[in-house]
Structure 1
């Protein structure tokens, strides 16, 4: 497919996991892709794996000066954007009473502030009729112990999706979010034991955890012309985790 031929896409947090998988997917469909990451070594490795139609810009998505540099670099190199995937984020799971002010700021900065200002700083570059996707989380759809801070930040980013869909309507810019469930990424494999992975898989109607490529496929759909009438929506990519129970309850 060449749904993105001639298009330029920006993916924040594009050095691994869902961001990197989405970069590969959009490149395969004809796009030129800009990926960002805080770690220069990982960023360079990611760009090398993506090929010559990819370009990396090092920076922190929660740092406004870095976002200004990103926007000016994209403008100078490509002139504009057609797709923004605000993907940079961090997991954070602890008991409500254990959350410190420093941890609050860290999680909100990465999962909300970074999303908000990534869109704000790159919006002047985005073509009329372009598309924005925000990476939210299945956690915003459930009340789960130990996720108060993370879920609240993701829920705020999710509501930002709906608000921006309305505010950017005069420019025909569509804004949607994806809410991945349990996804097999390098961070997931590092943080979750094999035993816990098996337990998690058993709680999902699909009987397995998802892949980063499956999330990338949904992002590609949402940012393509095939989703021209999909706007202000959140798409769960969770194998049925939120809405289906894999075992009888009676």
Structure 2
């Protein structure tokens, strides 16, 4: 199956997250006010490198068009934040996963304390408890996963599967049907997802669903939907960094930069 054809299949099978992307300024301001009122902790990712820090929104000012958020206790991190073009923020509120980007970042003093100031996000992604933003793997590079499969002699062998999409909650892979039988509920420990430019990340995953797909040449493959099990924060941060970078690069290409 060609990469282009697979991408089209995945777009059809993927959940439509557009319905969760908010553009209305009033709705976005309401959610931001709730984050302030609940003092929600926000994981904030820098656009380059595997770097993130915890912060909180302190206030909305200038008719709620500007966002004041707390600095990091790490002075070096604050210098990087002050010089970046954009930050990607992720948090949860009442079981709802929220993501948005901040730009126009400035160093300020707010109520006698160091803080950052940014423009109000123009878009905000609000997902239910079990929903995650899903990145369809780029056509420009291969995203693969090595899956250790136990054998009767005790020596596991590894199956290399192509990753179709990935999120903080799991991924979908393509595997030849003759490699092994994937059954919902099966778990695989020590799987290694190779993230281009970021390196490998080790995950434990559980099979959720299996589909048989046939491409135009008549070759049958398995599409296996998996969820991550007990994903460490370090692994999640690396996956999120990869997703954010790919999306950033895509947006830059679309703008002709």
Higher strand share: 2
The structure whose Rg is larger is 2
**TM above 0.5:** no
TM-score computed with the length of structure 1 as normaliser: 0.27
Higher helix share: 1
